């Protein structure tokens, strides 16, 4: 009576493959590929941990490390730690560092076209410049200018519209500019040279001392956020506006092309998107902190002065001539300037109806 049910149970289990089966040997698991970690260096043109500019480079490195889960790490060097501030471009081109963080007009002696990609006097605003680079063909022209040096540029920040600079002499007429020694890089410096001043290009870390010791009579730097940090209000009496010479100022990420090509596609994308995020982050940083810093400068006795119309008109006239001559230096320069002018004419129509009208009524 018990035997028959046992036989039936055994038959059922056998049918299900649960009786008399032998264990199959385990299939060996594929060994995971070791994660490759890439360590890069970034040289910058800024003092260590300098607000806005230096801290932006540090935040970029942190963002890349987080987004890549530590697969791409970047060690940031302040200006002078690995290479002098004005030799950042050369260091990236040579491969001394894979990355650089600076402003394009610092390398105008090596790449004259680079001046277009920081700021143009009386030119594009920050939002317009970003749109020209990303949508209006500017990025391709920028890459073309740097390609012979094996360097790829990306926008990695923008200070927005700057101030006109710090002066130890009041500017009431064009004659007041004549004979002044002014720290002013880029195309704005060339304009002032033509108006009778003598301009020099100094890295940020040297500006305060030069102004305080009267080695220079005036200087631009950035805007209240950075100018307050350097204490420029303690070395000069008058703070002029508007920033005709830099209606905006692009900060650039320089990437050694060979190093970039060696990265897997996902790390290349991470670097590009981290730069895009850093670009917006810096703009937000300056809008917020400039407002706070301007209040502090006024409380400490800074005298805000507007350039007279006659001076601004002369600056604008000379800017047109300087830009025309720069455009005539090469076929590439001509294409860059034509593209930028066409874009500015196009977007200005909309902005006159929108932003300009709003600002007038605010």
Answer whether residue 26 shows pLDDT above 90: no
H/E stretch holding 283 reads helix 265-299
Q: Is residue 204 part of a domain?
A: yes
Answer whether residue 167 shows pLDDT above 70: yes
Q: Is residue 24 part of a domain?
A: no
User: Could you report the per-residue pLDDT of 32-90, keeping only the tens digit for each?
Assistant: 556 689 999 999 999 988 999 999 999 999 999 999 999 999 999 999 999 999 999 99
Q: Does one domain contain both 69 and 95?
A: yes
Q: Does one domain contain both 87 and 201?
A: no
Output 127 or 31, whichever has higher pLDDT. Answer: 127
In the chain the first and final C-alpha atoms are separated, in Å, by 101
pLDDT at 22: 44
pLDDT at 139: 98
Q: 3 pLDDT band (50/70/90 cuts)?
A: very low
In which domain, by residue range, is 190 found?
165-246+300-330
- Average pLDDT over the chain reads 91
Percent of the chain with pLDDT over 70: 90
Instruction: Please state at what angle helix 138-146 crosses helix 331-353, rounded to 10 degrees.
Output: 150
pLDDT at 33: 58
Q: Is residue 263 part of a domain?
A: yes
pLDDT at 36: 85
pTM of the full structure: 0.87
Q: Which residues of 48-87 are buried (b: 16+ CB within 10 A; e: fewer)?
A: bebbbbbbbbbbbbebbbebbeebbebebbbbbebbebbb
Q: Does one domain contain both 109 and 231?
A: no
Q: Is residue 139 part of a domain?
A: yes
Answer whether residue 10 shows pLDDT above 90: no
* Structural domain count, the chain: 2
CA distance 5 to 20: 19
């Amino acid at each position: 009576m018990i035997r028959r049910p046992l036989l039936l149970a055994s038959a059922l289990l056998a049918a299900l493959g649960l009786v008399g089966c032998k264990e199959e040997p385990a299939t060996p698991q594929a060994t995971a590929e070791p994660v490759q970690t890439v360590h890069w260096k970034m040289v910058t043109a800024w003092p260590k941990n300098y607000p806005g500019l230096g801290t932006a480079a540090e935040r970029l490195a942190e963002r890349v490390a987080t987004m890549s889960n530590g697969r791409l790490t970047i060690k940031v060097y302040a200006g002078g730690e690995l290479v002098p501030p004005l030799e950042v471009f050369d260091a990236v081109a040579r491969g001394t560092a894979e990355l650089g963080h600076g402003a394009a007009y610092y390398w105008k002696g090596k790449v004259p076209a680079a001046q277009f990609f920081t700021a143009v006097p009386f030119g594009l605003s920050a939002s317009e410049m970003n749109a020209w680079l990303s949508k209006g063909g500017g990025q391709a022209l920028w890459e073309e200018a740097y390609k012979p040096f094996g360097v790829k540029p990306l926008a990695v920040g923008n200070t927005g519209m700057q101030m006109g600079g710090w002066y130890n002499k009041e500017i009431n007429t064009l004659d007041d500019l004549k004979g002044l020694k002014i720290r002013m890089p880029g195309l704005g410096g060339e304009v002032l040279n033509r108006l009778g001043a003598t301009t020099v290009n100094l890295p940020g870390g040297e500006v305060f001392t030069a102004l305080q010791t009267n080695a220079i009579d005036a200087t631009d730097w950035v805007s209240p956020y950075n100018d307050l940090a350097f204490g420029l209000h303690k070395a000069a009496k008058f703070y002029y506006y508007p920033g005709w010479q830099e209606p905006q100022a692009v900060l650039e990420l320089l990437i050694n092309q060979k190093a970039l090509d060696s990265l897997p596609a996902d790390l290349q994308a991470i670097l590009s998107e981290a730069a895009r995020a850093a670009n917006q982050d810096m703009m937000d940083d300056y809008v917020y902190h400039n407002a706070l810093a301007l209040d502090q400068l006024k409380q400490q006795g800074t005298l805000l002065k507007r350039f007279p119309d006659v001076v601004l008109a002369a600056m604008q006239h000379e800017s047109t001539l300087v830009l025309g001559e720069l455009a005539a230096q090469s076929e590439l320069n001509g294409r860059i300037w034509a593209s930028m002018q066409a874009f500015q004419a196009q977007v200005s129509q909309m902005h006159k109806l929108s932003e300009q009208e709003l600002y007038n009524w605010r």
